[in-house]
Each structure stands twice: as structure tokens, then as C-alpha cells.
Amino acid sequence: MTLDLSSDDLEMLDGRDGDAVEMAMRIIVRLAETVKAKRLIDISSAHIDSCLYHGLSTIDFADRLVQLGAQVKVPTTLNVSSMDLLHPDLYRGDPEEALRGRQLADLYESMGCKPTWTCAPYLLEERPNFGDQIVWAESNAIVFANSVLGARTDRYGDLIDICAAITGRTPDAGLHLDANRHASLVYEVGHLPSSLFDHDQIFPLLGAFIGSTTGTQVPVVDGLDRKQSEYRLRALGAAAASTGSVGMFHVVGSTPEAPTLEAALGNNAPQDIMKISIEDLQMMRSKLTSSTGTALGTIALGTPHYSIDEFAILRSHILGKHKHPEIDFYVSAGRDVLLELELRGWADEFRSFGISLVSDTCTYFTPILSNTEKPAMTDSGKWAYYAPSNLGIEVIFASTADCVTSAIAGTVVLDESIWANEQ
């Protein structure tokens, strides 16, 4: 298949817009050839994951672009950093690593990227519209943009994202194309008790099961009540993108490209239909829980970064209470959400309870936790999936309410009635 480049593409390759654009364009063209794209398309925005420090090569690449005069061509936001830039005192890692992380952050800001430092760019005031062609990196942002917003991004990794932002172009391939966005695997949940889905913790478990069983297909969930909330859909998507390679999902009646099951499938017959059982969800809870005792050292929430809606739920559980002195409690959020907490007066309420508010990064990979000897509890499927290998810590996956109850008690407390009542 031959890649058909426009005259503008060719002129960028020939150096018309400078050395940085030429370098970035060569990389975008090579990607297009690799994925057998027929053409390149314009994008309206980008979200960059390359700003997270992973070694000196990440600095070398960004520094090379800056030295060549790179500037982003489209509105571009930045994913999390390797440290909390607003609260550097929370960082417990190597000071040299912190300096390099800040150096990398400065390089990306100098290219015109917005210092948003959040893994949840869809919570920002400006976000993509339905049908917009974008280049977003960070797995949970990708799956949310495609599934919940109906914008179009493929799964992009480091270095490609900034090249697309500099050129404003990307291959017309993958989930940018209509044909690749149709579901082919149906997950049925309509036979389960509807009251089961009154509990927020079910959605990360559902997502984790889907991610671990979908493979490379686009899944569709059928049988949930219509108009599911965004925070439930993103919890589902974040877990699915962590336990598997899901870049898009549909939920009939809740996501924009799935008003009906037939529409989600593109009027095609599904390749397979899976009926999810309560046992499947319980199995995922067991897989996301690596600690079986009652010992507890940490509560870690906000992966992906917490939204105002999620903070409102958390606030309803903590008002007038205080955590146990031996339990550390962290919640991560984007800068804009933390500012909103301050304006509402909520931030002081969370601090009074004993919560440390973290920005710009995430506690499952940045050394922030002060106690990794005892298990940590989380309401995030993504945090529960990654933290054991990243931090060497045991994890308990639970509801937000159980996390708060356990923080107050100083030991693991789990409400098992959700399972007992639904058998």
C-alpha cells in the first residue's frame, strides 16, 4: 500500500518549516508506512506522555527537538510528570532523578505544551468534541477519548505523540478509521441483578475483566442502565486499558457510538458473546488484591486523577471524621481540580481528615508513599494492577467507602454484603 503525501507534507519533509518539523515529519511518515496508512490527516489537539521521565534518552530526544527550534502546532497538554512539581516535598526518590524529571518538564513546556500535568485531560475545561481527530497518549485518556467523548485517537506511545503535535499530522489508521471502531465482541450483563451496578466498585472490576479477555477486539457492554456517569465509564475504561490493550469500548445507551447494540457492532454479527457472571467479577477482585490479611499502611486514590464528582463522593464519607494516625492517605488529582477544591473550601476538609493531596504525578510509580512495608488499599483498578510490580507493595482493591472506613479503623475493613446479597 502506497502512502499518498500531500504537497504540504512533502514541503515539511523538505525542511520548509525548519529542522524540528522535518525531523518530526520523518518519524510520522515512517510510522504511517509501518501501519500501512494511505494518507496523513490533520489533528486538532495532542496529549503528551513523553514528558514522563524514563531515562536519559527521553531528555536527549526532547532536547534535540528544542535545539532544532520545535514548537507544537496544535493545542497540546502534558500527561503526568515523574514528580509532584507543586509539592516537591512529597517526593522520596533519588534527588538526581527529580532534577532530570524537572529538566524534562521544562523542555516540553518550552515547546509550547500546556503544563497541565494530568493523566485525565478530558477533565480540563477544553476537551475534544465528537469526531475530532486527535493524538492522545496515556492509556486511560485514549480509551476515554474514543469511547466516552467519541473523539478519534489511536493508541500512541512516547515520542510519536510530540512529533504529531509539532507537525499537526498523524497516520489515518487504527481507531481513526470508521471500520476499526465497530465492536466485534459483546459482553452481556443484563442477566445480572441490576442492584449490583448501584455499586461504583463494580465498574473497575468489569473493566478489568474486559481488558483481560478482549485481546485486540473492540468490546461492547450490553445490559447496563442507559446514561451511565462519566466517572463510572472512565473507571471501566482505565481498568480495561491497564489489564489489556483496549483502546476503545462501547456501552449500549451510554457511549455516543452505541445508541443501540446494532450501531455499536456496525450492523455486523459479533464474533463472540460473553455472559459475565458474578463469579467473573469476584475473580477480578481477587486478582487485583494481593494481600489477604488485615494489616494496612496506606490508602491511595486518584488513578486516573480524581474528578470533582469523585471528590464529592469521597467528601461525603470523610466529613466530621479523621483517619487513624498510622494510616497514610493520598489522593491524586490534576492542578485544575485541586484549584477547584481550594475555591470550594473542600481542600481544607480533606487535609483536616488527614489526606495528602497529590498533583502532577501518580503514586503507583513515583516514590511518594512513605510506607511500602504494609499493604495499600485503593478504589482504582489501574492502581491495583500496576502498584505491586512498580512499588513492590501488596494491594487491596475495595470501594471508596471501604477505603475510608479502613483508614479510620487503621485496619482492613471490607463490606462483603454486596456479594452476599447478589448470589
* Angle at CA of residue 50, ends 47 and 55, nearest 5°: 165
End-to-end CA distance of the chain: 54
C-alpha cell at 283: 475473580
Whole-structure pTM value: 0.95
- Asked: is 288-420 a CATH 3.30.499.10 domain? The reply is yes
- Domain 7-178 matching CATH 3.30.2320: the answer reads no
> Tell me: the pLDDT tens digits for 29-50?
999 999 999 999 999 999 999 9
Cα–Cα dist 265/242, whole Å: 23
- Determine the Cα–Cα distance for residues 384 and 393; give it in Å rounded to an integer: 10
> Can the peptide bond before residue 304 be classed as cis, meaning omega within 30 degrees of 0?
yes
pLDDT value for 85: 86
> In the chain, which stretches have pLDDT less than 50?
423
Dump the DSSP string for 67-98: HTT---SS-EEE---SS-SS-GGG--S-HHHH
Helix (H, G, I), strand (E, B) or coil at 226: coil
Q: From CA 321, how far away is CA 64, in angstroms rounded?
A: 51
Q: Which of 291, 287, 243, 283 is nearest to 393 (CA)?
A: 291
Give the whole-angstrom CA distance, residue 96 versus residue 94: 5
CA distances from 150 to 133, 287, 304, 319, 353 (A): 10, 31, 19, 37, 38
223 in Cβ contact with 188 (< 8 Å): yes
DSSP output for 337-402: HHHHHHHHTHHHHHHHHTEEEE-SS-TTTSS--S--SS-EEES-HHHHHHHHHHH---EEE--HHH
DSSP 147: I
Q: Could you state, in order of their start, the residue ranges of all structural domains in the chain?
A: 7-178, 182-286, 288-420
Cβ atoms of 324 and 295 closer than 8 Å? no
